Amino acid sequence: MHTFTRTFTIFTLLLAVSFASRAAEPDSTAIRQQTIDSLEASFNYQRGAIKLDGGIGTLTVPPGFKYLDAKQAEYVLTELWGNPKASTLGLIVPENVGVLSENTWVFDVQYDEIGYVEDDDADDIDYDDLLAEMQKDATEANKERTAQGYQPIQVVGWAAKPFYDEDRKILHWAKELKFGDDKENTLNYNVRILGRKGVLVLNAIATVKQLPEVNKNIDKVLGIVQFADGYKYSDFDPKIDQVAAYTVGGLVAGKVLAKAGIFAFLGKFLKVIVIAAVGGLSALWKMFSGRRREEPAAEPTQE
């Protein structure tokens, strides 16, 4: 093929792509929504009784919720929401939303085999003092987070003060968090179910505005896990079992579960989807038109 012919052919193809990109840009919202819908449809949600890994017990999905297994949950938390990797057993998601819905909120399920948590100090903890300590710890931890490219976290205060149910061995509380310069604060609602060898961790990831909705459903969630025989708190044998380094107060402070992380709500998934759906065409359009392509939308909020 002659040089002129080859050049003309390449120019024609690129010109066609640029016109296609120009035509596609007004529909980018529709394309993005189609991509979100397609991705959401690819998830395999479960309901009913779920056997947890390691034989530690059974999770029964409550009415009005659905369950996303560990592998899919990790993909959502890290690749779509832009969080550091952490060990998850799955996500509990409200039935009427998906993990990519703008109004979604979830419970992340984890298990930490830290040993038997003694609860003798539960009634003696000054949670205001503990909050001040947590705020200080968060400031120190932000040095490492920012060095790794993640947003700093500010512990704004209690969204719900800690409460320990001694009969059921369930501890729960809520923190209000601020990620970086986000305009809307994140709700971090924590549930710890004490067992013989460790604790079942349920963390609600939502916005502060969704606290009433989380509170409305918290009773459903508190009883969803049943430890198997041999893993129950009452099965503790002081002769052979390990006692955790932290008591109830330590669980609230979060030091012992630092590796579980605190997840940002909705992370960067919108940017990932926009780039995947229309990034190629937009790049060519930018090249030929000389016009700067608009940056992907900022992190979505609950507005």
Q: Provide mean pLDDT across the span 123-150.
A: 84
Q: Provide mean pLDDT across the span 48-64.
A: 89
Q: What pLDDT score does 46 carry?
A: 92
Please check whether residue 45 is in contact with residue 68, taking contact to mean a CB–CB distance below 8 angstroms. yes
Q: What pLDDT score does 276 carry?
A: 35
Instruction: Give whole-number Cα distances, 279 to 23, 273, 276, in Å.
Output: 14, 9, 6
pLDDT over 90 at 65, yes or no: yes
Q: What pLDDT score does 41 carry?
A: 83
The CATH number of domain 47-267, selected from 3.40.640.10, 3.40.1000.10, 1.10.10.10, 1.10.3720.10 = 3.40.1000.10
How does DSSP assign 178-221, residue by residue? EETT-SSPEEEEEEEEE-SS-EEEEEEEEEGGGHHHHHHHHHHH
Beta strand 106-112 pairing with 170-179: unpaired
In the chain, the amino acid numbered 214 is V
Domain boundaries of the chain, sorted by first residue: 3-39+270-289, 47-267
Distance CA 91, CA 202 (A): 9
Residues of the chain by 3-state class (helix, strand, coil), percent to 5:
40, 25, 35
Task: State the helix-helix crossing angle for 269-289 and 3-24, rounded to 10 degrees.
Answer: 130
Percent of the chain at pLDDT > 90 equals 17
Per the rule left: phi > 0, alpha: psi between -120 and 50, beta: everything else, 157 is left
Q: What pLDDT score does 75 carry?
A: 86
Q: Provide mean pLDDT across the span 182-210.
A: 85
* Residue 124 Cα to chain centre, angstroms: 32
pLDDT over 80 at 260, yes or no: no
Average pLDDT across the chain, whole number? 74
Q: What pLDDT score does 147 carry?
A: 85
Nearest to 202 by CA among 161, 174, 164, 230: 174
Q: What pLDDT score does 234 carry?
A: 93
Q: What pLDDT score does 123 carry?
A: 80
Which residues, in sequence order, are CB contacts of 201 under 8 Å at separation 6+? Answer: 108, 109, 110, 111, 112, 190, 191, 192, 257, 260
